[in-house]
Amino acid sequence: MRSLEDYRTALIIIGLVGILLCASPSLALIVSKFPGGQGFSRLWILDAEHTAEKYPFNVKSDETYQVYVGVGNQMRSLAYYVVYAKFKNQDEPLPNSATGTPSPLEPLYEYRLLLQDGEIRETPVSFSFSGVLFSNNESLVEIIRINNVEFNVNKLNSWNVNKTGYYYHLFIELWIYDVEIETLQFGNCSVGIPLNMTSL
């Protein structure tokens, strides 16, 4: 016969499993890199409320949106990171985690971090769009502003019939300075948020 303590332990375990299952969508936005088992880096995006629930999705011209980009160093040593922000239409490539290659798109915005082992930092990133035009089942985004820095992107996109929208993607790549070869290397870490450009 099971004791009250046995039932209590079982309920705690079931509760913890439930929490993990509920958190799994949030965990999907956290990417880790394990180079040779010697440590790893973490990269994540949180919404304006520091959660993984209210990311901007339906976006429009002349509205400002905010997210937080987090970087964590578990490399077992001091690490120098460069964070690149890139913006793509639905036909352009994202980074390829299977081959460890970054997106060939040029970075728009960057910032640099020097983190001690075990240190994490979250940086606010705001973005907005202007020069957004719609015509003949196409959308054009002429300008994106990231942290008040303006970039001419002129991204043309076709109407996505299956998803009924004009889909873009703002994504972040994490690059790490490799002291052995004295150059920046793509850390095979990237995260992003899909965006549906709307005229509403």
| Six-digit token string for 200 | 């509403």
**Listed range (5-9, 133-137, 140-144) with the worst mean pLDDT:** 5-9
Considering only CA atoms, which of 105, 92, 62, 113 is closest in space to residue 194? 92
What's the mean pLDDT when you consider all of the chain?
A: 86
Q: Residues 93-116: pLDDT tens digits?
A: 999 999 999 999 999 999 999 999
Q: Please tell me the total count of domains within the chain.
A: 1
Q: In 3-state terms, what secondary structure has residue 2?
A: coil
Q: Residues 158-178: pLDDT tens digits?
A: 999 888 899 999 999 999 999
DSSP assignment string, 4-44 = HHHHHHHHHHHHHHHHHHHHHHHHTT-EEE-STTS-EEEEE
For 91, residues 6+ apart whose C-beta sits below 8 A from its C-beta are 157, 158
Q: What domain range is 49 assigned to? A: 4-197
Do residues 147 and 85 make contact, with C-beta atoms less than 8 angstroms apart? Answer: no
CATH number of the domain residue 68 falls in: 2.60.40.10
